Amino acid sequence: MAPRSKQPAQRAKKQASSFGAPEQAQRPKDNEKRIQTGIQGLDELIEGGLPRGGVTLLSGHCGTGKATFATQFIYYGAKEKNEPGVYITLEEEPEEVMGDVKRFGWDMEKLVKDKKISIIKPEITKFDTLKKTIEDEIDKIGAKRLVINPFGLIAAYFANVYDARKALASLRRQMQKLDCTALVVADIKEGEQTFSFTGYEEFVVTGVIVLDLAFKKESNSYVRTLFVRKMEKSNHSLKLVPLEIKPDGLVVYPDAEVF
């Protein structure tokens, strides 16, 4: 059952595509500088989408929906917006990434064949080598979206947190240069008070979106939640909102209450 909403009638009137945000989502005057996420209900919390050419940190504990979010971001861009995307997977094999989302009816294999999506698992030796690989893949398909999952695996290769922070800052400059919008995934351990592997990445990126689980005593169960901690150039919402994994992907309920 969908979370309780204070404005059910109003929400019902908003039409959305299979993966897009509601048509009546708020948009800033410079909406051409926004990249729609494809997560229904999210874009109206961040003035129409992610800042174009920025790097957003998607942070969360295990089981909160990070991998689905990242894949939906790439798939929606390629399928619905004609914005090719590169997915850098550092743990799963590309075949696993494509197979995991078949349950949503997403045919990523076709988009890969059509050169709308590139999914690669590069060997990590040096960050500069990875950056060159990313740039080559972006140029190859004219990508406008990038996902790195998980970024913490890259940060672990640096001798200190300052080098990891500088690496992410250089990635941000690279995205601006290439006019590509990046989503980097960060795993958080239970009990951690930071939003990334080193605790410094969140200060460098354009935005921080936090996925979590909240316990509801009345139902003796957990619910998934989303919170926009940071989003530059945006008068973004600071509300904790419910998030659900539906048969066709993630859905955010901006008018509903978690508790």
Instruction: Please give the pLDDT value at position 191.
Output: 80
Question: What integer is the mean pLDDT of 92-114?
Answer: 97
pLDDT > 70 fraction of the chain, expressed in percent and rounded? 88
Report domain extents, the chain: 35-188+195-211
For the stretch 150-181, pLDDT in tens is 988 888 778 888 888 888 999 999 999 999 99
Compute the mean pLDDT over every residue in the chain, rounded to the nearest whole number. Answer: 88
For the stretch 187-239, pLDDT in tens is 988 888 888 878 888 999 999 999 999 999 999 999 999 999 999 999 999 99
Alpha-carbon distance of 28 to 214, in angstroms, equals: 31
**19 CB contacts (<8 Å, ≥6 apart)?**
38, 40, 72, 75, 76, 79, 80, 248, 249
Q: How many CA atoms, within 13 angstroms, populate the side-chain half-sphere of residue 199?
A: 5
**168 CB contacts (<8 Å, ≥6 apart)?**
55, 151, 155, 184, 201, 204, 205
Alpha-carbon distance of 188 to 210, in angstroms, equals: 10
Q: Name the architecture of domain 35-188+195-211.
A: 3-Layer(aba) Sandwich (3.40)
For the stretch 19-42, pLDDT in tens is 444 333 444 455 668 999 999 999
Question: What integer is the mean pLDDT of 73-91?
Answer: 97
**146 CB contacts (<8 Å, ≥6 apart)?**
85, 86, 87, 88, 134, 138, 175, 180, 181, 182, 183
